[in-house]
Structure 1
Amino acid sequence: ALPEVFAKPIWFIPGVGNNVPEIGLHNCEAMDMMRGEEVEVMGLLAQVDLAGPLMVILPGSHTKFISLDERGRIAACATTLAGELLQTISQNTILAKSLDNKFADAINPDMLLAGAALAGRTGFGRACFSIRILEQFMPCDTNDRANFLLGVVLSADLLALKNSSAVRMHSGTPVVIAGKGVLTQGLSLMIERDDYFSAPVTVIDTGQQALLSGAGAIQVARARGLYRGPDPVSREGIKEMTRY
C-alpha cells in the first residue's frame, strides 16, 4: 500500500511476453511482449461471446496480433508499428504534401488494395514513393493517396501476421479485430480479400469496445480473489464495482 497516494492496497498487473529462451539473432523475431493489451483481450472475452482458437488484432500506433488457444488463453503475440509508420510518413517525409499531413478520411477499396498490391511487388519503400508519383501524374485526391499509403502499410502487417514465428498464424484461424477508424476498416477489407485467410473475420463494434481495459483488469482481480462483485459490462457496472 501507498498511504500517501491511496488508502487501499494497489495491485499492479504485469505484462506478458512470448516464451522464447536465450534470445539472439536467430530467434529474436519470435519474441514479443505487451503491457496492457492483455487485459483488453480479457475484457473483450468477458463482454463478447467468443471461443478460441482465435487471432485477435488490436490496431493502433503499435498494432498487436494476439493468438488465443482453444481455451481462450493468450498463447503468443506479435507487434508492428503500423500506426506510427502512418503518422511519420504522412507528416514527416516528402510525402507529407501529397497526403496533406493526414490519414485517410474514408476507405477507398480500390486505392487501398492497389497500394497493398504494389508493395507486394516492389517493396515498402518504392510503393511509398509512388504516392508522390500519383500526386504529380494521376488525377486522384488526397484521400485516395492516403488510402494507397494505408494499403502499403497494412500489407506489411499482413505479411507479418502470415509469416511471423512469434504467433504462427494458421489460415483457418478465425480473426477478430477490435479497433477504430480506417486501420480497422482497412485490415478487415484486406483480410477478407486475401485468399490466405479462410476463416471468418469479426469486427467488434465501437460500443462493445468501451472500457475493455477496465473490464479486463476486473477479470484479473476476480481470478486473484480480490474482487467478487458484479461484472462491469457498462460504465454503471464500473461505478458499482467501486463499492467492493
Structure 2
Amino acid sequence: MRGDYIAIDWGTTNRRIYVIGGDGSLRHTRRDHCGALRMARSDYPAEIGAIRADYGDLPVIASGMVGSSRGWVDVPYCPAPASIADLAAAAHACGDRVFIVPGISVHDQRGCDVMRGEEVQVFGALISGAVSSGALFCQPGTHSKWIATDDIRICALSTAMTGELFALLKSGSVLAEMLQGAVTNGPAFAEGVARGMGATDLPSALFQARAAALLGARAAQDTASYVSGLLIGSDVGARDLAGRVVTLLADGDLAILYRAAIEIAGGTVEVIDSNAAFTAGIQAIYEAM
C-alpha cells in the first residue's frame, strides 16, 4: 500500500484538491477557482509548491485540463477503448513526484472527441460496484459528456457544448436580457425539453423563445428555464434513451435538470456522487502506476 498523496481534479475554471490516505480514505478536500485558464504554464511549479506547503510534501497526481494544450504539459490522449491500466501506463511524470493522468480520445467513422478528467470519475464509479459494466454515463457541465463503457473500459464518448451555448446566449445574444432569471425544473423547462428533443430547427426554436415572450405566449421570466430545456433536450435527445439506465455524475441543479430531461426521454436515472467517484478512480490509477 502506498502512503498518503495529493490528488487534483484540475478543470478549466475550477480546481478541487484532495488529500487521500494510502488506503484510499479521504483526509481533506478543498475547492477553488484556480482553473487552468487562470494560469500560465510557468505558474504550475509554484502552485504545486504552495499546495504541498498546505498539505505536506506528498506525491501529487493530477487530472483534467492541467494535462491539456492550455495547461502545464500537453499530455497525449489514450485512445479508446481504454482501461485503468492504460491510463496508469501513460501517466506523465512532471517534476518532483508529480504525475498527470492522460485524457481519452476517440477517432472513428463518427468523428473525433476527447475528454480530460471525466474518465477518472467514470472508472471510480465502475470499480465501486455501484454500476454494472456496460453502463452509459452522463456528466453534465459546460461541455456535457456521454460515455459508453464495457468491461471496465471506456469505449466511446460524445461531447455537447450545452452549458457553454447557454452561457454564450445569456451573455451576448438577442436573448440575453431574457435569460437572466433562474432556471428551474418546472413546466417551462419540461416544455423546452420536449421541443428540443430531436429538433432539427434548434436555431429557429431559440428565436421563437424570444418571440413567445414578446407576444405574451410565455411569461418572460420563464424564458431562461425554457431555453435551458431546449438545449438540454437537444443534448439528451441525440440518443435513444427509452428504457435505458443512465448513470448521472452530477450534483445540485444540473443533476435535477438532467434527471428530469432523461426521464422525459424515457430513461431511468441513477445518480453517483462525483467526488466519491473521483477519489475511487484516482486511487485505482495511482495504485496501478
- The alignment's TM-score, normalised by the length of structure 2, stands at 0.60
What is the CA-CA distance between 1:140 and the residue it aligns to?
4.6
Q: Secondary structure at the match of 1:160?
A: coil
User: What SS is found at the alignment partner of 1:14?
Assistant: coil
Corresponding position of 1:236: none
1:10 aligns with 2:98: yes
* Residue among 174, 197, 220 paired with 2:285: 220
Residue 125 of structure 1: aligned partner? 203
Q: Paired residue for 1:137?
A: 215
Q: For 1:151, which of 219, 229, 233 is the aligned residue?
A: 229
**In structure 1, what is the Cα distance between the partners aligned to 2:230 and 2:124?**
31
| Alignment partners' CA distance in 2, 1:180 and 1:85 | 20
SS of match in other structure, 2:247? strand
Partner of 2:261: 190
Count of matched residue pairs: 199
Kept after mapping to 2: 8 A contact 1:61/1:81: yes
CA distance in 2, matches of 1:148, 1:128: 9
CA distance in 1, matches of 2:168, 2:182: 11
Within 5 Å, give how 1:69-88 maps onto structure 2: 69=150, 71-88=151-168
- Structure 1 residues 19 and 89, CA, compared in 2 at 3 Å: closer, same or farther? closer
- Return closer, same or farther for 1:177/1:212 CA change in 2, 3 Å cut-off: same
Distance 2:252 2:214 in 1: 28
Measured after TM superposition, the shift of residue 134 of structure 1 is 2.5
Q: Contact conserved, 2:236 with 2:265, CA < 8 A, in 1?
A: no
- Tell me the amino acid that sits aligned with residue 255 of structure 2: T
Instruction: Using the TM superposition, name which of 178-187 and 56-65 deviates more.
Output: 178-187
CA offsets per residue over residues 194-242 of structure 1, 9 Å max, x none?
24x4xx32123xxx32254343222101122xxxxxxxxxxxxxxxxxx
SS in 1 for 2:136: strand
Partner Cα distance (2:190, 2:163) in 1: 18
1:201 aligned to 2:272?
A: no
Alpha-carbon shift at residue 188 of structure 1 (Å): 1.5
Counterpart in the other structure of 2:29? none
**Partner-residue secondary structure (3-state), 2:270:** strand
CA distance in 2 between partners of 1:103 and 1:174 (Å)? 29
The answer to whether the Cα contact below 8 Å between 1:54 and 1:174 also exists between their aligned partners in 2 is: yes
Correspondence for 1:36: 117
| Partner amino acid, structure 2, of 1:30 | G
Which structure shows the bigger proportion of residues in helix conformation?
A: 1
What is the percent sequence identity of the aligned residues? 27
SS of the equivalent of 1:218 reads: helix
What are the ranges of 5 or more consecutive residues in structure 1 without an aligned counterpart?
21-26, 163-169, 225-244
Structure with the bigger percentage of strand: 2
State the superposition RMSD in angstroms: 2.8
Aligned-partner Cα distance in 1 for 2:140–2:194: 21
1:65 is aligned to 2:129:
no
Q: CA deviation at 1:46?
A: 4.4
CA displacement at 1:159 relative to structure 2 = 3.2
* Higher relative contact order, chain-length normalized (CA < 8 Å, sep 6+): 1
Residue aligning to 1:165: none
> Relative to 1, partners in 2 of residues 1:181 and 1:130: Cα closer, same or farther, differing over 3 Å?
farther
Equivalent residue letter for 1:189: A
Name the SS for the 1:66 alignment partner.
strand
Q: Which amino acid aligns with 1:68?
A: T
